[in-house]
Amino acid sequence: MDMSLSLVEKYTPKRISDIVNQAESIASIINFLENFEKKKKKALLLYGPTGCGKTSTIYAIANEFNYEIIQLTSEDFRGKEVVNLVIKNAISTTSLFGRKKMILIDELESFVASDKGGLSSLLDIIASSKVPIILITLDFWDSKILPIKPYCEAIEFKKLVPKSMVSKMKKILESENIEYDDLVLEYIAKNSGGDMRAALNDLDILCTNRKRISKEDIVFLEERAQEINIFTAVQKIFKTSNPIESMETLDAVNIDIDTAILWLAENIPNEYVSKIDRALAYNYISRSDVFMGRISRRQNWELLSWAINLATAGVTFAKSKVNREFVRYSRPSIIAKLSESKKARQILKSIAFKISTQTHASTKIVAETYVPLLRVIFNHNEELSLKFKDLLSLEKEEVSFLSQKIFN
366 alpha carbon, distance to own chain's centre: 46
CB contact set of 382 (below 8 Å; sequence gap of 6+) = none
Per-residue pLDDT band at 174 (split at 50, 70, 90) = very high
Which residue has better confidence, 224 or 244? 244
Closest CA to 294 of 306, 285, 283: 306
CB contact set of 19 (below 8 Å; sequence gap of 6+) = 13, 26, 53, 56, 57, 60
pLDDT of 224 over the 60 cut: no
Please provide the average confidence, as pLDDT, over all residues in the chain: 83
Q: Mind listing the pLDDT tens digit for each residue in 186-214?
A: 999 988 888 898 899 889 888 877 888 88
Maximum mean pLDDT: which of 33-37, 105-109, 349-353: 33-37
| CATH 1.10.10 applies to domain 162-225 | no
Which residue has better confidence, 55 or 371? 55
Residue 142 near residue 154 (C-beta atoms within 8 A)? no
In whole angstroms, what is the distance from residue 225 CA to residue 233 CA?
A: 12
Instruction: For the chain, give the percent of residues with pLDDT over 70.
Output: 84
Q: Mind listing the pLDDT tens digit for each residue in 73-94?
A: 665 555 556 666 666 666 555 5
In whole angstroms, what is the distance from residue 301 CA to residue 130 CA?
A: 54
In whole angstroms, what is the distance from residue 138 CA to residue 109 CA?
A: 8
For position 167, what pLDDT does the model report? 94
Other beta carbons within 10 angstroms of residue 218's beta carbon come to 18
In whole angstroms, what is the distance from residue 358 CA to residue 337 CA?
A: 32
Domain 22-156 belongs to what architecture?
3-Layer(aba) Sandwich (3.40)
Instruction: For the chain, give the percent of residues with pLDDT over 90.
Output: 31
Spans of all domains in the chain: 22-156, 162-225, 232-318, 333-403
For position 319, what pLDDT does the model report? 92
How do strand 43-47 and strand 67-72 relate by DSSP bridges?
unpaired
How do strand 179-180 and strand 67-72 relate by DSSP bridges?
unpaired
Dihedral through CA 295, CA 239, CA 220, CA 188, nearest 10? 130
pLDDT of 115 over the 60 cut: no
Residue 211 near residue 179 (C-beta atoms within 8 A)? yes
In whole angstroms, what is the distance from residue 99 CA to residue 68 CA?
A: 6
Both ends of the chain: CA-CA distance in Å? 37
pLDDT of 58 over the 80 cut: yes
